[in-house]
Amino acid sequence: MKWLLIGTFFFYSLTVSAVEHNNSLNCKKNLQHLLSSINTMRADFEQISYTEKNNIHQKKQGYLIAKRPGNILWVTKSPLEQYIIADNKNILIYDPDLEQATVSKFSQDLIRNPAILFIGSIENAELSYDINCTGIGPIDFVLTPINTNSLYEKIELSFENKVPLWIKLWDSLGYRSEIYLIKTQLNRVVENKNFQFDLPEGVDVIRHK
């Protein structure tokens, strides 16, 4: 009887492990399918940042335009105007009120730049994160970093009818940022000129190698 119970428990453990493994694989395949189907994206966004005590720290509004591979225009209109532009080679951050811009090499590292999820390759995510499904929303995913030195402790993504709804990020200091996408348009024609930017005269440009 004792050996029967041990055998039953062992078989149950293997079954649970196999189910969990298959669920994890299904989540990765599902997320890969959803992201790989996005070639271009336009959307308005509202970004809400919370403190470690869950108090609202800041609200931002703006719009984004993205195109594979590695092109993105991220414009914050309020409360302060800011432009983030990437062309798969460099990334420019321009703050008009400071009359200052920084230019650095664009990184495909998902750990440093989660926006790459929408314009990069899901293979990078598989190398950097454990990907699981929450089972709560229509299609919700939880990405937990494998590297303990990651900037983020957790990233959550939600889709509905293959359209991204929101992305939530928890950093190592306990702060949380929630980005809600509005009026999202997928796979429309996006011209490369959206990712070119001519800075006004007098802007101080800081270049990082």
Q: What is the pLDDT of residues 59-80, one digit of tens each?
A: 999 999 999 888 989 999 999 9
Question: CA dist 6 to 18, 19, 20, Å?
Answer: 18, 20, 21
Arithmetic mean of pLDDT over the chain: 82
| pTM for the whole structure | 0.81
pLDDT, tens digit (0-9, with 9 covering 90-100), for 157-209: 999 989 999 999 998 888 999 999 999 999 999 999 999 988 999 999 999 87
Could you list the residue range(s) of the whole structural domain that residue 201 is in?
2-207
How many independent structural domains does the chain possess?
1
The CATH number of the domain where 173 resides is what? 2.50.20.10
d(CA 85, CA 128): 24
Query: Which tokens belong to 69?
Result: 């591979």
> What H or E segment, with its residue span, contains residue 125?
helix 122-128
